[in-house]
Amino acid sequence: MKLAGQTVVVSGSSSGIGADAARKLARLGATVCLLARREDELLTVRTDIENAGGVALTYVVDLSDADEAETVTKQLLDDHPRIDALVNNAARSIRRPIADSTDRLHDYERTMAINYFGAVRLTLALVPRFLEQGHGHVVSVSSMSTQVPIPLFSAYLASKSALESFTRSLSAELGPQGVTTTVVYFPMVRTPMSTATDIYQKMPMMSADKAANWIVKAVVDKPTRVTSVPGAVGGLGMAALPGVVTTVTRPLFRRMDRRLSRRLQED
């Protein structure tokens, strides 16, 4: 029971990675605070945790709504004198070429609203408690695609890159006061969000269960980052030779999309 006595807040925990991570964190002894918009699904996750002997509480909230977020964070702080970790997992993704987005600034705004501002809003609300108690760990869920340049996800990746920079600044400024951070760089994970794109139904992906193990590692071990070997190599390549890496990977992603499209049509 590595997390016995600890309270962990997990946003986006009604399904996918967040739900699986919440179940695993509860099995390690944590009291898990489940945050998401869909109440029915949150209650299902809570029931699963309680049936397994764990403790979970549900908080229905749209983190892109400032008023809702303020109400929920006040309730969190009232309910839990000690909060040990926050997992910023709630997100949305949009797959669209930039050339087709020139009249769709709202795609970028609504993606930033949850992926960046929602996460920052929640983090800022908990920072005073972290400082008061002398410790707190923030896990920010990102994507391997911020380590390797890929097309068609500019809104999503811009929001995740912003969250990464905020998370690094948080560690740089408040690390000496006990506030630590981890950025988790997931490859493609099979979740309702990723499989909403038809061609990705034929793409090999990490399971949500395995992805949840990365979240658990981030909460328990508190490394600066959790990533894959390809992600780490991509990050090094972009730091050393960004132009070369971008040029080399561009046709690879186009071929991958064509191959996945053919597989979908064959079925």
The CATH number of the domain holding residue 206 is: 3.40.50.720
What pLDDT score was predicted for residue 251?
82
Higher pLDDT pick, 172 / 257: 172
Q: Give exposure, 196-207, as e/b (b: 16+ Cβ within 10 Å).
A: eeebbeebebbe
pLDDT surpassing 70 at residue 264:
no
Give every CB contact of residue 39 below 8 A, 6+ residues apart in sequence: 58, 60
- Cα 181 to Cα 169: distance, rounded to the nearest angstrom: 10
Query: Is residue 230 domain-resident?
Result: yes
120-151 residue pLDDT tens: 999 999 999 999 999 999 999 999 989 988 88
91-111 residue pLDDT tens: 998 989 999 999 999 999 999
Query: Is residue 195 domain-resident?
Result: yes
Query: Is residue 1 domain-resident?
Result: no
What is the sign of the dihedral through the CA atoms of 152, 158, 160 and 164?
positive
Query: Is residue 2 domain-resident?
Result: no
- Cα–Cα–Cα angle for 247, 238, 231, nearest 5°? 105
Query: Is residue 12 domain-resident?
Result: yes
pLDDT surpassing 70 at residue 235:
yes
For the chain, give the percent of residues with pLDDT over 90.
79
185 tagged catalytic: no
In the chain, which ranges are continuous DSSP H helix? 16-27, 39-51, 66-79, 105-112, 119-133, 154-174, 208-221, 229-240, 242-266
pLDDT surpassing 70 at residue 211:
yes
Confidence grade of residue 198 (pLDDT, cut at 50, 70, 90): low
56-105 residue pLDDT tens: 999 999 999 999 999 999 999 999 999 999 999 999 989 899 999 999 99
DSSP-assigned states of every residue in 155-174: HHHHHHHHHHHHHHHHHHHH
Rounded CA Rg of the chain: 19
What pLDDT score was predicted for residue 199?
65
Give the chain's domain count.
1
Q: Give, to the nearest 10 degrees, the angle between helix 119-133 and helix 66-79.
A: 30
Query: Is residue 201 domain-resident?
Result: yes
pLDDT surpassing 90 at residue 249:
no
Query: Is residue 184 domain-resident?
Result: yes
Q: Which domain holds residue 106?
A: 7-266
Mean pLDDT of 225-250: 92
- Cα 160 to Cα 119: distance, rounded to the nearest angstrom: 10
Q: Backbone phi, then psi, for 143, in 5-degree steps? A: -135, 145
Helix (H) or strand (E) holding 189: strand 189-190
Among 59, 116, 156, 185, which one carries the catalytic annotation?
A: 156
What pLDDT score was predicted for residue 89?
97
- Cα 155 to Cα 106: distance, rounded to the nearest angstrom: 10
- Cα 165 to Cα 53: distance, rounded to the nearest angstrom: 38
pTM of the model: 0.92
Q: Give, to the nearest 10 degrees, the angle between helix 242-266 and helix 229-240.
A: 140
What pLDDT score was predicted for residue 128?
98
